Structure 1
Amino acid sequence: MRVLRVLARRVALGLASAWAILTTIFAMFTLTDDWVLGAQVGRLRWVGAGEQAVQAARESYLSARGLDRPLEQVYVDWLGNMATLDWGQSFESGAAVLPMVADATARTAMYVLPALVLAVAAGLGVGLYAALNPRGRLAELSLVSTYLVFAVPNFWLGGMLAALAGAEVIAVPPLFVKHILPIALTTTTLLGGYVSYTRAYATEFASTDFVKLVRAKGARRLRVGAHVIRNAAIPVLSMVFTEALGLLLLTVFVIERLFGIPGFGTMLLGAVEQRDVPVLLGSTVVISAVGVVGSIVQDLSYGYLDPRVD
């Protein structure tokens, strides 16, 4: 029953948060000046169109987007459609929004999920090894290498490599540019934080009495590491599901624009530029859903890692 209460609470909070975010997005793109309409009106005035033609174009634009009705009616209809997954059609392309958002999300997940797994695994391993062997040369070398990779402007290096490959200066397989390189760049972006968090918390637990007792009983390093990492995993998990989500949202915009990947970031940027409100609202639902699922997994993981957590 406790698990069900946690799930119900998180889902309820997620729905409330999604409603607040959707309402904010709707207000931002309906109560502010429409730059797309303004550009169309500006072009008409530039070619000398009369006021009647400008007014007709404005009315046609608003009618095509369903914005010629009372704003409160538009708000209720659109939020109701978001809840029923009837997201309508894109203003820009006319394509159905739900499969459009699903395809873009799947394309982004093709490099984000492998990168997240690699970053977490490597971060836990390097951070734990450095915490258990603070004076070892290999630990120092691994830390220096990790932070160096984190500090180097990898997006610039990746962009240069992609540009050289596009100009056929160097022979690089398309698979490398479109898949392997985005995974590598996303991994290195996340890796430094995971190593730092894991090393800090693992060092704290490595000096506790129960770890000293495990060492005194002659346990192997792997066994000692398992005890340490299980206790240090709770604060590290908090970082995985909070900071990583925000960092990934920023990362996908850069990577997809850099490599021309038709993923979630590219779609969302295009929707903002074109004030494509159905796509914006559908994308917001996806982001909120990922946050809710991540929060639920995080809460359930706490109880698994530490039975003392209620």
Structure 2
Amino acid sequence: MARWLTALRHVAFAVVAALVVVSLAWLALNATRDPNVAEIRHFMAQGGASDAEIRRAVREYLERRGRFAPLHERYVAWLGDFLTLDWGTSYSLTTAGPNGGRVPLPVTDALANGLSNTLRYVVPSILLAVGIGVAVGTYTALVPDSRLGRVASMAAYFGSGVPNFYLAVVLPVLIAIPLDLLGSDVTRVVDGGRVHETVIEGAVGPFGINTTILPVFVLTLGLLGSQVRYARTEVLEYAQRDFARLVRAKGAGPVRLARHVLRNAALPLVALFSTEVVAVLVVDVFVLEYVFPVRGVGSMGVRAILDRDYPLFVGVTAVVVAAGVFGTLLQDLAALVLDPRVGEE
């Protein structure tokens, strides 16, 4: 089979898989009872409302949420809207309206803003972790007796062994706050020789210390250990092959030897990279955005669950599923490029 046909088959399978998973998430939410209905009935009954008033209020609520029609009709309507990127409006997020009031925020707009805030620290973290991890892992494998390599490995393993939640809580206390890196806004007023200071809490630094730099540091440190460990393992395995011995016999230095070894170990390292992307967007993003004031996809997902915001929850699920499918697709396409034997049968 030609390579382009193999790549097209992988892309088509990725699109179908993403659509199936998002559809299952939508069905899981809409095929079950809405817990808000029980709360509406409970509070209206306590307020002395009649059964007819309660039924009318529940019907209006379900019609407003679009949950009064049969399930299959709702699914067909939702699928058409989803494929045309009409993901509805959020129940918990609002934006400024044309007349100065507040109107519900479209889910696509909310996800666009949240995804940009999340990628602001996720992309640098992954690039730093992969770059530093592969370099350190390769160096420690080819120069095992180096003191620098041992120190770097110990630091990387320490970072991966400490939970991200703990690092996210401790770092601002130990580093950022004592050095005033969070950029607290202090207003000083001199009155009769006395200085009065007013501190505005919640302010962040001019370079986004609390929303970008600290999350990048925490996430990079958490990912670095696995990158170093896998890179070292793969390089050690390929460094014992015949081609590596031939390169050494020709008098090649460590840099040239590392280039030959990494060229052959690229495929498993790319597989690790795609796995890390999925792990970051499924777990670490939600943990970090719970601690740091980042209005990203993770914090939106938590808010959607707490506020029972179904359209926003399905949208966040679609983003997470797309990231996982993209990671798998990247691994498959990388195999086509890096391994000439793939796709030719």
1:8 aligns with 2:17: no
Q: How far is the alpha carbon of 1:27 from its aligned partner?
A: 1.7
1:177 aligns with 2:210: yes
Q: Does the 8 A contact of 2:210 with 2:293 survive in 1?
A: no
1:200-258 CA distances to partner (integer Å, 9 max, x unpaired)? 11100111111111111111211100111111121111111124312432000011110
Q: Which segment drifts farther, 83-92 or 73-82?
A: 83-92
1:150 aligns with 2:160: yes
Q: Does the 8 A contact of 2:18 with 2:318 survive in 1?
A: yes
Residue in structure 2 matching 1:96, options 103, 106, 110: 106
2:139 partner amino acid = Y
Q: How far is the alpha carbon of 1:80 from its aligned partner?
A: 1.1
1:271 aligns with 2:304: yes
1:190 aligns with 2:199: no
Residue in structure 2 matching 1:298, options 331, 334, 343: 331
Please report the RMSD computed on the Cα atoms of aligned residues, expressed in angstroms: 2.3
1:282 match = 315
Partner SS state of residue 145, structure 2: coil
Percentage identity across paired residues of the two chains: 36
Distance in 2, matches of 1:96 and 1:70, equals 24
Structure 1: unaligned runs, 5 residues or longer: none
Q: Which segment drifts farther, 272-281 or 25-34?
A: 272-281
Distance in 1, matches of 2:243 and 2:178, equals 58
Distance in 1, matches of 2:150 and 2:175, equals 35
Distance in 1, matches of 2:294 and 2:319, equals 19
Q: Does the 8 A contact of 1:11 with 1:292 survive in 2?
A: no
Partner SS state of residue 60, structure 2: helix
Distance in 1, matches of 2:44 and 2:322, equals 42
Structure 2: unaligned runs, 5 residues or longer: 94-103, 183-203
Distance in 1, matches of 2:164 and 2:106, equals 36
Q: How far is the alpha carbon of 1:308 from its aligned partner?
A: 4.0
Partner SS state of residue 187, structure 1: helix
Q: Which segment drifts farther, 90-99 or 255-264?
A: 90-99
2:7 partner amino acid = L
1:258-291 CA distances to partner (integer Å, 9 max, x unpaired)? 0121100111222223332322333333333333
Q: Does the 8 A contact of 1:162 with 1:259 survive in 2?
A: no
After TM superposition, list the pairs within 5 Å mapping 1:43-192 onto structure 2.
43-93=43-93, 94-162=104-172, 171-173=180-182, 174=204, 175-192=208-225
Q: Which segment drifts farther, 126-135 or 11-20?
A: 11-20
- The TM-score normalised by the length of structure 1 is 0.91
Q: How far is the alpha carbon of 1:21 from its aligned partner?
A: 1.1
Q: Does the 8 A contact of 2:129 with 2:224 survive in 1?
A: yes
Distance in 2, matches of 1:11 and 1:284, equals 20
Residue in structure 1 matching 2:286, options 234, 253, 265: 253
2:201 match = none
1:238 aligns with 2:271: yes
Q: Which segment drifts farther, 26-35 or 45-54?
A: 45-54
- The TM-score normalised by the length of structure 2 is 0.82
Q: Which has the higher strand share?
A: 2
* Pairs aligned (count): 309
Distance in 1, matches of 2:174 and 2:161, equals 23
Distance in 1, matches of 2:172 and 2:55, equals 46
Partner SS state of residue 92, structure 2: coil
Cα gap change, 1:84 to 1:181, in 2 (>3 Å): same
Q: Which segment drifts farther, 64-73 or 169-178?
A: 169-178
Distance in 1, matches of 2:178 and 2:257, equals 50
Q: How far is the alpha carbon of 1:136 from its aligned partner?
A: 2.5
Q: Which segment drifts farther, 174-183 or 12-21?
A: 12-21
Distance in 2, matches of 1:165 and 1:137, equals 27
Cα gap change, 1:65 to 1:307, in 2 (>3 Å): same
Partner SS state of residue 86, structure 2: coil
Distance in 2, matches of 1:91 and 1:14, equals 30
Q: How far is the alpha carbon of 1:169 from its aligned partner?
A: 6.4
Distance in 1, matches of 2:276 and 2:330, equals 15
1:232 partner amino acid = A
Q: Which has the higher helix share?
A: 1
Partner SS state of residue 105, structure 2: coil
